[in-house]
Each structure stands twice: as structure tokens, then as C-alpha cells.
Amino acid sequence: MLFHVKMTVNLPLDMNPETADRLKADEKALAQRLQEQGKWRHLWRIAGHYANYSVFDVDSVQELHDLLMQLPLFAYMTIEIDAMCRHPSSIREDDR
């Protein structure tokens, strides 16, 4: 199942910089691991924002939920999710 996910991060302005750096490093490591596994298919920064558009390829809504809940920055995110399916006019069978 493919999901388009918009994640906007809102770290508290008074967050300890070392804590923020650790969270960001942990987030990057997990995101890269999920990309290598093929679960986090695409990751795009939204210009001018601390936010991204991502495409996840998972087996279920529950799996997506569980992956998102594991993100170190989850507590500081606003997340919007849209389920996707192949468009009948698409010339591609696979977008990998």
C-alpha cells in the first residue's frame, strides 16, 4: 500500500540544542534504514519549511502507523496522510 505523508516538524524554541541534534541524528538514521528496506520509498524536503513529503510502501495502515510512531521527532510533528493507488492513465507499472 502506498501512502503520501506530509510531516511538519515543530521543535520547541527552548529545546536544548544537544537534545535537538541527537533527535535529528536518530531520525536520519531511522529514515535511511527504512529507505534501504524499501518502506520509505521517497523523501522530499519542502523548500522553506522544516517539513517533507514522503511516500511509504507498507503492507497496512497499521504498519504505517507503527513506523511513524517510532520516529524520534514524532512528538514534534504534524502529520497528514493520503492513501494512494495507481492512476489508470499512468504509463509506468512501477515508480521505483
2-12 per-position pLDDT tens digit:
999 999 999 99
pLDDT for 90 equals: 86
Distance CA 56, CA 69 (A): 14
pLDDT for 95 equals: 65
CATH code of residue 33: 3.30.70.1060
With contact defined as beta carbons under 8 Å apart, do 31 and 43 qualify? yes
Domain span at 57: 2-84
Q: Is residue 94 part of a domain?
A: no
In the predicted structure, residue 96 carries a pLDDT above the cut 80: no
Distance CA 84, CA 55 (A): 9
Distance CA 77, CA 87 (A): 29
Q: For the chain, how many structural domains are there in total? A: 1
Mean of pLDDT values over 82-94: 87
Q: How far is CA 8 from CA 50, 64, 66, 76, 95, in A?
A: 6, 17, 18, 8, 25
Give tens-digit pLDDT for 45-86: 999 999 999 999 999 999 999 999 999 999 999 999 999 988
pTM equals 0.90
